[in-house]
Amino acid sequence: MVYTFYRLISSLIPFAATLNLWRRSWREPDYRIRITERFGFVPPHVKHGSFWIHAVSAGEVIAAEALVNQLLTNAESSQVLITTTTPSGSAEVTRRFGERVDHCYMPYDAKRCIRRFINLTRPRALILIETELWPNLLNITRQEGIDVCLLNARLSARSARRYHFVSSLTKRMLNCISMIVSQYEDTADRFRKLGFPSEHIHVTGNIKFDRSISEETQRSAELGRERWCGERPCWLAASTHPGEDEVVLEAHVRARETHPDLLLVLVPRHPHRTHDVEVLASTRSLTTARYSDVFQSVDVLVVDQMGVLLEMCGVADVAFIGGSLEGTGGHNPVEPAVFGVPMLMGPDRMNFEEVCARFVDSGCLTTVHDEDELASELLGLLNDPDLRKRQGDAARLVVYENRGAAERQFRIVSGWLHDAS
């Protein structure tokens, strides 16, 4: 009954979603580009018979990088098609893989759009990165005999309750999936309780711990430190959202009372918000410069480009992880940890519960709730180099001890792909 209702209203999805694209395009013009791909039309260069990987945005593309590179070197699976939903995800595919993979946007979850896309691409199998469950997509891939794997799956307790609320639809979707490769046991258990068979679930850890620092990134971070900081202390606010920028900037003002030369590197989650952040800073009498401009000595460096967050983590002495104070669910803390940077984060970390728990247990991720706590904890770390080093070393150790998921996942997936093809 629920699926029948969804199937009826899904015919309206392209109309509603296109209106939403145009709304977003006023701030992010890239949403106006290649709209026909969202209706299932694919570029002429996209080949038939690829292994199809869907990665919603930049974070999922980065998470899938190791798997994609391994697939590209495997003669049996060297043809890969990656779809994304966001322009930032699309840009990340181009940045990391270039012409080694085919790429286009994921079609809307309307029957005609999905069928058109599948008829034009004829994929051999579909890998969904993390948890992207769409009823029409899963139903049609099953009808077409396309095996589906949910990879690096994560499912929070809150999301699981929502899926329980529409249990008949959830069971129908899960019946279309042949294998789930879960990050952690809690997610695996939630999928079991939703009705997915235990024998088709594998627990491997989170591939985001396999993030490494290339020599190029290391060198860029060192040059950035010399260029922007010199001898100045520096802290990073990574992937901030509206409502968090104000908290970060207030904490920065307070911290500068003790450290007048303190530099803040502020990285909005969406670069189109750069101007808004600059206005917020100016109202607090803070000078700003943009990452893309000729450098000048300022109070706040605003990063207005995608793809440079990792190197900026290497510039900072302390990092605040955004998306954690205003209901987004938090962002990935592994990137600053790879550089051995102690971390501060709000209490909302639904997207990375298990990952954050490992850092909290090791004493290198501190919870803050407002600008008062953020300024206090920031000053505590800035004033104590030994504490920063202990927490930074602990963060690196957590990353090191949790590596290996990418290799484990590839072994599982390669066997599954062999059977699927």
First to last CA, the chain: 33
List, for residues 393-419, the tens digit of each pLDDT value: 999 999 999 999 988 998 999 888 877
Q: Which residues are catalytic?
A: 60
pLDDT band of residue 33 (cuts 50, 70, 90) is: confident
Model confidence pLDDT, tens digit, residues 146-190? 999 999 999 988 899 999 999 999 999 999 999 999 999 999 999
- Can you give the pTM of this predicted structure? 0.89
Short-list 1, 59, 416, CA closest to 206: 59
Sheet (strand 288-290) strand order = 288-290, 300-302, 263-268, 234-240, 318-321, 343-345, 365-367
State percent of the chain over pLDDT 90.
Answer: 72
Which helix (H) or strand (E) segment holds residue 87: the answer is: helix 87-97
3-state helix, strand, coil in the chain (%, to 5): 55, 15, 30
Model confidence pLDDT, tens digit, residues 279-301? 999 999 999 999 988 677 899 99
